[in-house]
Each structure stands twice: as C-alpha cells, then as structure tokens.
Amino acid sequence: MVTGPEVAWWVWPLVLLVLTFVMGILAALGGVGGGVLFVPIVSGFFPFHLDFVRGAGLLVALAGALAAGPGFLKMNLASLRLAIPVALIASTCAIAGAMVGLALPTDVVQTALGATILGIVILLSVAKKSEYPEVEQADRLSSALGIYGVYTEASLGREINWKIHRTVPGLLLFIGVGFAAGMFGLGAGWANVPVLNLVMGAPLKISVATSKFLLSITDTSAAWIYINKGAVIPMMVVPSLVGIMLGSLIGVRLLRVAKPAFVRKIVIGLLLFAGLKAITKGLGLPFIV
C-alpha cells in the first residue's frame, strides 16, 4: 500500500470521497449503516490512524442518523418512547466503550474490531427478520412505560398497532451494543435492528427506523469523547460525510431497480474481507492487500 507522505495531500481525501460515495450506495442497498462499512475498510486500506477513522466513523453515522431522524419521527416509524430508555443505556455504554477504545493499544482495538466485524458477518448472514413479530402480550415494563404505537403500512393499506415484549433482556443487550458502538465507532444499526425486531418484537419497519434514530443519540455520546480527545480531523470527516450522504441518496433511488439480496451479499463479502484485514493488521500478520 502507498503510504500517506508519498502522495499529494489531496489524493487521500479525494479517494475517501469516492469510496464513501460507493459505500453510501452499497449501504443503502444492502440495508446496513455507513459506519459499519466505513471503519473496517478505511482503517484497513487507508493510511489514517484507527483513532481518527473511528472518530470520523461515528460522525458519519451520526450525520446519517440526524438526517433520517426527523422524517422517521414525523411518520411515527421511529418511536421516541421506545428509543428513550434504550438510548439511555446504549449512550452511557457508548461513552464507556469510547473511553476504553481510546485507552487500549491500537493493535488490540484493531484485532477486536476485526473479530467484531466477522461476528457482524455471521449475524447478517444467519439472522432472520420478521416483518410483524408475534407479540402475544406486552410485558409489564413496556406497558408501564407506554411503549406501543401505530403506523400506516402502505403495502397493506391499513394501520398497524404494535407493542413489544422481553423489554428487560432487550435493554440488557443494548449494554453490549452501546459499548461496541463507542469502542469501534461503528454505529450500531447492525445490532439495534435484530434486538428491537427479534428480541423485543417491534415490527421490522419500526425497528429499522427507531434504530436509525437511536444512532443519533448513541453516537452523540461517543462522538463527544472522540472530539474532546482530539481524534477528529476535518479533512477526513467532511469528505466522508458528504460521500456517504450523496451515495445514500443515489442508493435509495437505485433501490427500485437493483437486486437488494445480491447487493447484501456484496456487503457481507466486503465486511468479511475488511474483517480479515483488520485482524491480520492488528496481529501484524501478512494479508493479500
């Protein structure tokens, strides 16, 4: 790989802009957030140090969540009542994760990142999604907190009432989700959706929208740790942010003609490649690139 000082300063930000544009398209088509692609790929194949990649990754995921949040909230697809207790746990643990991630040696974090990415590959490959999970009865905690809602399902032409169960186990799982989000700067949509959908029983659309909105809170807490630590370089953040957002806009338009299942396989393949690269880089082992 060509190292940073040997090429003109503008080459890497420009390549970053182009690559994040492509990532934005793939992420939108593949149904994952930009952060989960950004951190392992950019840290594996660019000269930027992992500290700055994680800071940029969090801000990229944060910007995407901030942009999507208002629309989802207004459409009642993202549920504030569901997000507030979840966010309280996830954001607190994201702070702890960010502090630990910035305190540990880089090779340890890089190796752990690779292992986490490979775990995400398995999760994306085997986890089933449920459009309307069966929730026979809301549990006492979710009932007491009034976590339920209604949204209009255009494909069915009717309103869907939803409620959740297994609230306590779901909230406990967000301890790990928040910690990983802060430690690796990954965002956490890859974990939010399965927990909300498969564990807590929220309908898939509610899970996806609430997950996206949740990132705006979880990533905010971790982002502040990186900002205060000085792990933010605007020349990395802004091209990445612009690239991902433009790519996402194009990706959403391509969704009508693309084959999402095929793209999802490409995304999983990319993550597998990037995860292996992260592990070998962390362990100081040779890799094909």
Partner 1 sequence: MTEDSMTEDSTTPEMNDETNITTDPVADTGPQEEQLLYAKILEVGMFFGLALLLVTFTLYLTRTLPAVIPIEQLSDFWTMNVHDFLESLNEHYLHQEHLLTGWSWLSQVWKGDFLNFIPIAVLSAITIICYMGIVPVLIRKKDRAYVFMAVLEVLILTLAASGILAVGH
Judged by CB under 8 A, the chain residues 120 through 139 that form the site for partner 1 are 132-138
CB of 179 to partner 1, least distance (A): 14
Binding mask 169-208 for partner 1 (x = CB under 8 A): --------------------------------x-x-----
In DSSP notation, 104-171 reads S-HHHHHHHHHHHHHHHHHHHHH----SS---SS--HHHHHHT-EEEEEETTTTEEEEEE---HHHHH
CB of 229 to partner 1, least distance (A): 5
DSSP classification of residue 78: S
Q: Which of 36, 120, 183, 223 binds partner 1 (CB under 8 A)?
A: 223
- 2 sits near partner 1 (criterion: CB under 8 A): no
Q: Which of 26, 32, 163, 180 binds partner 1 (CB under 8 A)?
A: 163
Residues 22-61 that bind partner 1 (CB under 8 A): 47-52, 59
Number of other residues whose CB lies within 10 A of the CB of residue 281 = 22
Give the amino acid at 176.
G
CB–CB of 26/251 below 8 Å?
Answer: yes
Of the candidates 198, 246, 216, the one whose C-alpha atom is nearest the C-alpha of residue 66 is 216
Token match 């942009």: residue? 67
Nearer to partner 1, 145 or 258 (CB): 145
Residues 57-86 that bind partner 1 (CB under 8 A): 59, 62-63, 66-67, 69-71, 73-76, 79-81, 84-85
CB–CB of 269/117 below 8 Å?
Answer: no
Nearer to partner 1, 92 or 255 (CB): 92
Q: Which of 148, 258, 260, 265 binds partner 1 (CB under 8 A)?
A: 148
